[in-house]
Structure 1
């Protein structure tokens, strides 16, 4: 496990305006009622990360999990620049740590449903958390549909939650292999799954009345909509189109 000790202020884990993204003409949301979101914070320059990257690839085969790989940039200095790294991913990981009262961040780290922080190469622990959150009370009923390049998002409150909540749009690349030529993983070819390429705020929803919004999208990469308490905090609902 690679750890970075840092001082930072709490920051919202949403950035910028919505990017135009695209999908096939007709699509439907996952049939799973409550998929669990698992965020992996990883780096191509981290020698401890490949087992966690492989585990995320296994999670990507499941319908009850939405696994997302967020590549961070703070290990780029040790000899290999991560091709998928983004300072926004580092910012989000720092915001999670700050919200939890922690002073350090590390790779590989998994965050389950916006709440549980666990070492990413401990599958037994992660699977137990997925099972627990998958059986939890439904807080928000979230539905997605798409026609042409228009994404429709509807949601209604089912149980009590802190408000307002953030409605976020995530895009990811399903799979990509990378030949790493220097750094701690030099000479290895590693296949990565569900690589996050964009994470945008769609709306802040006060939950006093049902949510009904639409946005234009483009491209063929899968998309995920996540409803999450501020902090970043608890993920109340997630749905995916792919």
Structure 2
């Protein structure tokens, strides 16, 4: 299934933003309705004004194909978003924009509108710096209404997978901005601070996000920066 030209046009028309909006896609190689959303995520990954991230979940692995990028931590993150909204079910594909707004399926018009609504929701909060002691992420003093966390995401830029079994059997699907590791850099109270960042593994990129906590659940993304 190919995305309708209108869906691509809606994403291509996104204006430049002062600060990146973070878009998360929850997807699975075993989900027949996911390839259009994966293609859309690839379109977004080409836009430097947003940070697009693909989280592969593991709850479709039982239907005949084990997702080669699936991670239980991704499923747990998606379930935490659902719990924050009072929901007890999760599904794919699902986009989550800015840590707060979920979108079902590959709906380019809704996604583009939601991204526009989030422009300016992240400030100039995080920056990268190189020091004699190595790389650090610098967090500017920021007024917070509650606690937040700093999270390091390690990302594989692109990979093509031939899917041999399951609902997508016989398809070659290209995936983009695939999250391969989630590392907690600690809580943040809004005070100016710096945190050392390890070097990225070969072939990988890194992103750091500052995310509010909604009780025990992930909340709004306050800031984000590419670490490469």
1:181 touches 1:188 (CA, 8 Å); kept in 2?
Answer: yes
- Name the structure 2 match of 1:241: 227
TM superposition outliers: structure 1 runs of 4+ over 4 Å = none
- Name the structure 1 match of 2:146: 163
- Name the structure 2 match of 1:3: none
1:163 touches 1:205 (CA, 8 Å); kept in 2?
Answer: no
Decide which of 116, 119, 127 is 1:143's aligned counterpart.
127
Cα distance in 2, alignment partners of residues 169 and 41 from structure 1: 18
Decide which of 192, 205, 212 is 1:222's aligned counterpart.
205
Cα distance in 1, alignment partners of residues 220 and 98 from structure 2: 6
Decide which of 119, 144, 154 is 2:138's aligned counterpart.
154
**Paired residue secondary structure (2:218):** coil
**Paired residue secondary structure (2:90):** strand
CA change 1:148–1:185 in 2 (3 A) is farther
Unmatched 5+ stretches in structure 2: 1-15
Task: Note the C-alpha offset of 1:180.
Answer: 0.5
- Name the structure 1 match of 2:86: 101
TM-score by length of 2: 0.86
- Name the structure 2 match of 1:133: 118
- Show the 5 A alignment for 1:2-41: 33-41=18-26
Cα distance in 2, alignment partners of residues 137 and 179 from structure 1: 37
Higher helix share: 2
Matched, 1:192 2:175: yes
Matched, 1:210 2:189: no
Measured against aligned partners, the alpha-carbon deviations of 1:195-233 in whole angstroms (never above 9, x if no partner) come to: 0001110121111x3012213324231110000011200
Cα distance in 1, alignment partners of residues 94 and 176 from structure 2: 15
Task: Note the C-alpha offset of 1:149.
Answer: 8.5
Count of residue correspondences: 209
Cα distance in 2, alignment partners of residues 192 and 149 from structure 1: 34
Considering Cα pairs closer than 8 Å and 6+ residues apart, tell me whether 1 or 2 has the greater RCO: 1
CA change 1:104–1:148 in 2 (3 A) is farther
CA change 1:151–1:192 in 2 (3 A) is same
1:168 touches 1:226 (CA, 8 Å); kept in 2?
Answer: yes
- Name the structure 2 match of 1:91: 76
- Name the structure 2 match of 1:50: 35
Cα distance in 2, alignment partners of residues 48 and 149 from structure 1: 46
Decide which of 84, 104, 115 is 2:100's aligned counterpart.
115
TM-score by length of 1: 0.81
- Name the structure 2 match of 1:10: none
1:32 touches 1:63 (CA, 8 Å); kept in 2?
Answer: no
Question: Which is worse superposed, 171-180 or 215-224?
Answer: 215-224
**Paired residue secondary structure (2:167):** coil
Cα distance in 2, alignment partners of residues 215 and 49 from structure 1: 33
Task: Note the C-alpha offset of 1:85.
Answer: 0.2
Measured against aligned partners, the alpha-carbon deviations of 1:76-115 in whole angstroms (never above 9, x if no partner) come to: 0000000000000000000000011011100000100100
